[in-house]
């Protein structure tokens, strides 16, 4: 599948749909994941993507499991405890997919997008590969083609990606 014509925000929405299908595959509790998905889906409509990056960095499994609360700005102690519990019980594919989501969203954040952003395409392919290996349903790519790479310098125009969510 070629995603070159789909904006980075559109690619993120596609990857988040795969992630939700992964959560369903592993029969994860919707309520446990809803608040994290709310944060992840903000990528599609937040104005300043670096704001998303700084906040989501604190939600990443390696940040949570590290147990170092120095410099935490966005997560409360209660949320941190909830995340630790959630992540410690996760299949490895879920934590791996969270890392891929973060990397797709941030890998080109401070560079000029060129040549269709091969780095974000590679991250998206990593997520697709995990889903295919596990025979998890992939979203219909055609639904994301309206989020054109030609808009917003490749990042795309902000939109409410939650319309694609199976959880929100």
pLDDT of residue 62: 87
Q: Which residue has the tokens 């969510």?
A: 165
Give the domain ranges of the chain. 8-159
Tokens representing 23 are 């959560």
Contact 21, 36 (CB under 8 A): no
pLDDT value at position 89? Answer: 83
pLDDT score, position 95: 94
pTM comes to 0.95
Q: Give the residue-averaged pLDDT of 10-28.
A: 97
Share of the chain above pLDDT 90, in %: 80
Instruction: Reduce the DSSP state of residue 59 to 3 states and report it.
Output: coil
pLDDT bucket at 83, cuts 50 / 70 / 90: very high
Give the tens place of pLDDT for each residue, 51-80. 999 999 999 998 887 766 677 889 888 898
* pLDDT band, very low/low/confident/very high, at 159 (cuts 50, 70, 90): very high
Q: Is the pLDDT of residue 100 over 70?
A: yes
Check whether 94 has a pLDDT greater than 80.
Answer: yes
Report the percent of the chain where pLDDT is more than 70. Answer: 98
Question: What distance in Å separates the CA atoms of residue 125 and residue 103, rounded to the nearest whole number?
Answer: 12
* Residue carrying structure tokens 């290996």: 133
- In the predicted model, what is the mean pLDDT of residues 160-165? 95
How large is the greatest C-alpha to C-alpha distance in the chain, in angstroms? 44
């Amino acid at each position: 599948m070629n995603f070159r014509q789909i904006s980075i925000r559109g690619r993120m929405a596609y990857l988040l749909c795969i992630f939700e299908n992964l959560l369903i595959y592993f029969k994860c509790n919707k309520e446990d994941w809803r608040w994290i998905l709310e944060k992840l889906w903000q990528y599609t409509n937040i104005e300043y993507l670096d704001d998303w990056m700084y906040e989501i960095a604190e939600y990443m499994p390696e940040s949570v499991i590290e147990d170092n609360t120095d410099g935490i700005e966005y997560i409360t102690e209660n949320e941190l405890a909830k995340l630790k519990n959630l992540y410690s019980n996760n299949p490895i594919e879920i934590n791996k997919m969270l890392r891929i989501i973060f990397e797709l969203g941030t890998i080109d954040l401070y560079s000029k997008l060129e040549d269709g952003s091969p780095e974000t395409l590679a991250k998206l392919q990593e997520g697709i590969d995990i889903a295919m290996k596990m025979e998890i349903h992939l979203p219909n790519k055609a639904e994301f083609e309206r989020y054109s790479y030609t808009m917003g310098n490749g990042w795309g125009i902000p939109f409410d990606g939650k319309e694609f969510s199976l959880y929100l």
